[in-house]
Structure 1
Amino acid sequence: MTVRSRLKRGFYRHGPDYRFDDQVDFNDIRDTFGFRTMVVGKWVNKEERFISANLIYDALADLAQILQLPPSAIGLRGKLNFAFGHGGQQNVQAHYNSRTRTLALAKNAGGGALAHEWFHAFDHHIAGLVFPEHPKSYFASKLWLEHTLVPSHPLNLALNQFYQGVFLEPSGKNANHYVQQCIAYDKHHGQYYMSMPEELAARCFEACIAHNEQIINHFLVSDISGSGLIYPDSDTLITCNKALNNYFSQLGQLLFAHRL
């Protein structure tokens, strides 16, 4: 019996039609979403290239639509590289390499992790803008816990509200239940992963995307309820989603106005 790959089995999606059944390729993805480079692994055959290009294009278009951003903004001012079926890590479905600024998806296991990894890229990218005096390898989520983000611009204020929602109780004084759960989980399992600031923030972003009612894309973000990971409770999610919508809607308005 032939076992169909995860890629060929397909992913549930409900959202706008951007391609009108046209076939896109990876160059279209690079140009539309403003990536610096686009690399496809040599083990991705022709059929898989066609299938994956459409899936990735629709997922990134959905992400831009949800965030109210111009599609070209997804590439983070042309600094983000994208790799599919190339340069991955063993037993990892997707990862973001901050050293090379590369978002990499595994050929058969990468579907569902795109939103999470894109936020890692954004978190790294924005750190250089709001915390410019710190090393370029750092993530804004981690730096936020250690340094004050000066709300000199409405965007900074909205971003500050998001990170505060991820990590702190409404009073702004103590770690919230989400963080406490993740710390306890890591302590119990003798690890440091679930409670890493950048992972806490990425899972929160991922959950916000997953709970969008108008657009559902399981290649962008899979069903988080059965993942075995810890995600924010409903109150934290509402707070963070409001802050994210505020931040990205303002950013989108600025970018559309300047045609960036």
Structure 2
Amino acid sequence: MSYIPRIASNFKREGPDYRFDDQTDFQEIKHTFGFRTITIGSWVTPYEQRIGANLIYDALADLAQILQVPPQVIGLRGTLNFAFGAGGQLGVQAHYDAAARTLALAKNAGAGALAHEWWHAFDHYICKKLFASTTPLSFASSLWIQCNVTYRHPLNLLLDQFFKQLFLSDNTDQPSQFFQQAKALDMQYDLLYFSRPQEMSARAFEACISHNPKILNEYLVSGVKNSKLQKQGGFPCLDNIITLSDIIFHYFSELGTALHHHCD
């Protein structure tokens, strides 16, 4: 039986101090970020809960800060469930279960995958806001490949622009360089994963988060810059990341502004 280390707390982070060194807990995370439910695995010790809660709170607060949205947006209007050390998949550090609308984070190995998996949750949630014809398991990025955006709201048009930049070459209907790179990775590893639209969009999103100039949080996102996957073409090139960041951060900023005005 191999030894599994307790959850580490020394992830590099440079960003605002939200807690002022106070200990938080998962109930506060649920309330602050608007999750529907939070489940803690029975094998998570009280010590691991305390460390994990602080790391997750700061990472989600950093995500909201980077996106310029109210913290409650992270819970996707109270529809997203969160699991820590429970409900994951064997050998997988983090996982989004669309059927259960649950973002599951492994207690010892989930660090760095939070932004990627949150995008999956958002991509799933936002699908019905863009398209008239969806299924309960549809993702917006995947459906975008198949049909045009139905609801032409200005916010939706920004997402439409994001997907176009992501999947297509400039001013053409030809696949983007990023798609070609992802397809080559699939051929190299003999699988269909890297070129799936929902995986391409999640990697693009985490690359945007990783390259934001204001906040660094290795628990939120890591394994992008100077990684083996980056060198293999698993992420968009830097110029493309800058363009994608401009679009997606504009989208969330506009969303945040709209929600603030609605609350006022």
Say yes or no: TM over 0.5.
yes
Report if aligned partners of 1:151, 1:160 keep a CA contact under 8 Å in 2.
no
1:143-154 paired onto structure 2 within 5 Å: 143-150=143-150, 152-154=152-154
- 1:212 aligns with 212
Report if aligned partners of 2:94, 2:113 keep a CA contact under 8 Å in 1.
yes
Paired residue for 1:257, among 252, 257, 261? 261
Q: What is the CA-CA distance between 1:115 and the residue it aligns to?
A: 0.1
- 1:231 aligns with 235
**DSSP-derived class of the 2:82 partner:** strand
For 2:227, the aligned partner's letter is G
Report if aligned partners of 1:99, 1:137 keep a CA contact under 8 Å in 2.
yes
- 1:46 aligns with 46
Q: State the distance in 2 between where 1:172 and 1:241 align.
A: 21
- 1:77 aligns with 77
Q: Which runs of 5+ in 2 are unaligned?
A: none
Q: State the distance in 2 between where 1:132 and 1:64 align.
A: 28
Q: State the distance in 1 between where 2:263 and 2:94 align.
A: 31
Q: State the distance in 1 between where 2:260 and 2:79 align.
A: 19
For 1:208, the aligned partner's letter is C
- 1:200 aligns with 200
1:114-125 paired onto structure 2 within 5 Å: 114-125=114-125
For 1:38, the aligned partner's letter is I
Q: State the distance in 2 between where 1:53 and 1:155 align.
A: 32
Q: What is the CA-CA distance between 1:5 and the residue it aligns to?
A: 2.8
Q: State the distance in 1 between where 2:133 and 2:179 align.
A: 27
- Report % sequence identity: 52
1:66-215 paired onto structure 2 within 5 Å: 66-150=66-150, 152-215=152-215
**CA offset digits 1:7-62 (Å, max 9, x no partner):** 22521000000001110000000000000000010111011100000000000000
Q: What is the CA-CA distance between 1:6 and the residue it aligns to?
A: 6.2
Q: What is the CA-CA distance between 1:227 and the residue it aligns to?
A: 4.9
Q: State the distance in 1 between where 2:4 and 2:137 align.
A: 39
- 1:28 aligns with 28
Q: State the distance in 2 between where 1:110 and 1:211 align.
A: 20
Report if aligned partners of 2:9, 2:51 keep a CA contact under 8 Å in 1.
no
Q: State the distance in 1 between where 2:49 and 2:159 align.
A: 36
Q: What is the CA-CA distance between 1:174 and the residue it aligns to?
A: 1.0
**DSSP-derived class of the 1:27 partner:** helix
**CA offset digits 1:224-259 (Å, max 9, x no partner):** 132536100112212211110111011000111122
Q: State the distance in 1 between where 2:123 and 2:37 align.
A: 19
Instruction: Indicate how the Cα distance of structure 1 residues 157 and 151 shifts in structure 2: closer, same or farther if over 3 A, else same.
Output: farther
**DSSP-derived class of the 2:222 partner:** coil
Report if aligned partners of 1:164, 1:172 keep a CA contact under 8 Å in 2.
no
For 1:256, the aligned partner's letter is H
Moved more, 59-68 or 175-184: 175-184
**DSSP-derived class of the 2:103 partner:** strand
Q: State the distance in 2 between where 1:148 and 1:80 align.
A: 26
**DSSP-derived class of the 1:38 partner:** strand
Moved more, 141-150 or 195-204: 141-150
Moved more, 55-64 or 160-169: 160-169
Report if aligned partners of 2:141, 2:197 keep a CA contact under 8 Å in 1.
yes
Q: State the distance in 2 between where 1:71 and 1:9 align.
A: 23
- 1:242 aligns with 246
**CA offset digits 1:52-75 (Å, max 9, x no partner):** 000000000000000000001100
Report if aligned partners of 2:132, 2:150 keep a CA contact under 8 Å in 1.
no
Number of residue equivalences: 258
For 1:241, the aligned partner's letter is S
